[in-house]
């Protein structure tokens, strides 16, 4: 009787963990019904501060999780570490490293980049209690769920060209990328399973207008099988659009919008994000998640000092709150290709002085100079500085 009761209790606990330790359980096909709900969480404090609207931004090492095509925009090697605390004691640690390659990519347009990441997730503790035949109560504590995800990503520029529309010329850059994931999961220190998943992404950039469109597919796989029946992964289709323009001096504004569709859960989420950059030092971020099981505002702050960045983010949602802290380091001393700014700031130091430009265009004086007739002095030269 004792063994049978324990088996039934463990089975019930396993089903509860499968229903989603990070969000409320739901019926099959509804929100939270897919396994490994931690694959839906943000792994970047920058992205979390913008409510996860990052599929069309994707310009750093975290692109491997949101849109692998964005890895093609890496100009320097980057290393990042993140810590996440969330619902009911759940924790996530994420380590990533990305590096541009020195060889030309498969499309022969530019040099690609690769990235590796390791995600470790703990869903808290589960205490199992049962009644012994003599009436006493026995209890034992288990790790509710522990997951490890190893990701390898690749992205590159596949096409660049121009088009003319109503007398104006526009430049379009296209990027493609993909990622492979190996997932290892364990429930209640008893049931374990392994799964494989694939990600894919596409980016279209117009640098002159500062517009970017992105599409990505995440967590596409056959599912994960703990015992006899396989449970689906939380496959996500992301459609995003972003716009970035300079304001004054070294400041810029980034706006992004994104629609997520969860294939196996009949769920759609709308995300909106904003990032304002102050003098290459501070980044202020705001976001809002709508149509989500945990709707609400998000906020974040980034502090940059030379090649080191500290990012903080909070998401006080309606169901549960979460927070992230992350460190990113860019190895700017090495790059296999020339760095190109995606945002041109209105800084006078970036332009040649007006006097130097005029002296460069002035024709050479004929010889001999003494034979030239004297010219009337028309007053000092006048230049507008802006």
Looking at 21-30, 80-89, 115-124, 316-325, which range is the least confident one? 21-30
* The pLDDT of residue 175: 97
Contact indicator for 298, 314 with CB cutoff of 8 Å: yes
* The pLDDT of residue 87: 67
pLDDT value at 361 more than 70: no
pLDDT value at 40 more than 50: yes
pTM: 0.77
Q: Is residue 382 part of a domain?
A: no
More reliable by pLDDT, 220 or 361: 220
Q: Average pLDDT of 313-317?
A: 89
Q: Average pLDDT of 149-162?
A: 96
Neighbours of 42 (CB within 10 A): 25
* 227-236 pLDDT per residue, tens: 778 889 999 9
Q: Is residue 207 part of a domain?
A: yes
More reliable by pLDDT, 109 or 140: 109
* The pLDDT of residue 212: 97
* The pLDDT of residue 378: 47
Q: Average pLDDT of 322-349?
A: 74
Q: Average pLDDT of 318-324?
A: 84
Q: Is residue 354 part of a domain?
A: no
More reliable by pLDDT, 30 or 341: 30
More reliable by pLDDT, 1 or 253: 253
Chain CA centroid to CA 239, Å: 14
Could you give the CA distance from residue 56 to residue 201 in angstroms, rounded to a whole number? 10
Q: Is residue 184 part of a domain?
A: yes
Q: Average pLDDT of 377-382?
A: 45
pLDDT value at 24 more than 50: no
User: What range defines the domain where residue 280 resides?
Assistant: 2-330
* The pLDDT of residue 244: 94
Could you give the CA distance from residue 289 to residue 361 in angstroms, rounded to a whole number? 55
Q: Is residue 171 part of a domain?
A: yes
Q: Is residue 380 part of a domain?
A: no
Domain tally, the chain: 1
Q: The domain that contains 123 carries what CATH number?
A: 2.40.160.40
User: Long-range contacts: 104-110, Cβ < 8 Å, 24+?
Assistant: 105/72, 105/156, 105/157, 105/158, 106/156, 107/156, 107/157, 107/158, 107/159, 107/176, 109/156, 109/157, 109/158, 109/159, 109/160, 110/72, 110/156, 110/157, 110/160, 110/337
Q: Is residue 92 part of a domain?
A: yes
Burial of 86 (0-12, 13-18, 19+ CB in 10 A): buried
* 173-191 pLDDT per residue, tens: 999 999 999 999 998 878 8
Q: Is residue 376 part of a domain?
A: no
* The pLDDT of residue 139: 76
């Amino acid at each position: 009787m004792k063994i049978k009761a324990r088996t039934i209790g463990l089975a019930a606990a396993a089903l509860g963990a499968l229903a989603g330790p990070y969000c409320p359980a739901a019926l099959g096909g509804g929100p939270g019904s897919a396994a490994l709900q931690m694959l839906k969480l943000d792994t970047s404090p920058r992205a979390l501060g913008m409510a996860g609207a990052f599929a069309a931004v994707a310009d750093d090492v975290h692109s491997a999780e949101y849109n692998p095509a964005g890895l093609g925009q890496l100009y320097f090697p980057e290393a990042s570490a993140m810590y996440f605390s969330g619902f009911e004691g759940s924790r996530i640690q994420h380590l990533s490293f990305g590096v541009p390659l020195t060889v030309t990519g498969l499309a022969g347009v530019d040099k690609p980049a690769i990235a590796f990441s390791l995600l470790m997730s703990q869903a808290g503790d589960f205490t199992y209690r049962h009644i012994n035949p003599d009436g006493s109560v026995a209890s034992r504590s288990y790790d509710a769920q522990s997951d490890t995800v190893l990701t390898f990503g690749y992205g590159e520029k596949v096409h660049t060209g121009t088009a003319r529309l109503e007398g104006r010329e526009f430049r379009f850059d296209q990027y493609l990328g993909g990622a492979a994931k190996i997932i290892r999961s364990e429930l209640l220190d008893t049931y374990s399973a392994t799964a494989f998943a694939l990600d894919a992404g596409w980016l279209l950039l117009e640098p002159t207008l500062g517009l970017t469109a992105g599409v990505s597919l995440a967590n596409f796989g056959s599912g994960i099988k703990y015992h006899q029946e396989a449970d689906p992964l939380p496959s996500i289709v992301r459609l995003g659009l972003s716009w970035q323009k300079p304001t004054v001096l070294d400041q810029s504004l980034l706006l992004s919008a994104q629609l997520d569709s969860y294939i196996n859960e009949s769920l759609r989420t709308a995300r909106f994000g904003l990032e304002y950059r102050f003098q290459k030092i501070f980044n202020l971020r705001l976001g809002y998640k709508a149509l989500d099981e945990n709707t609400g505002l998000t906020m974040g702050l980034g502090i940059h000092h030379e090649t080191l960045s500290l990012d903080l983010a909070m998401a006080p949602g309606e169901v549960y709150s979460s927070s992230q802290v992350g460190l990113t380091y860019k190895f700017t001393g090495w790059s296999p290709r020339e760095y190109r700014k995606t945002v041109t700031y209105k800084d006078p130091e970036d332009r040649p002085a007006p006097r130097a430009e005029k002296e460069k265009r002035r024709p050479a004086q004929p010889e001999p100079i003494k034979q030239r007739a004297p010219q009337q002095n028309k007053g000092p030269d006048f230049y507008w500085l802006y």
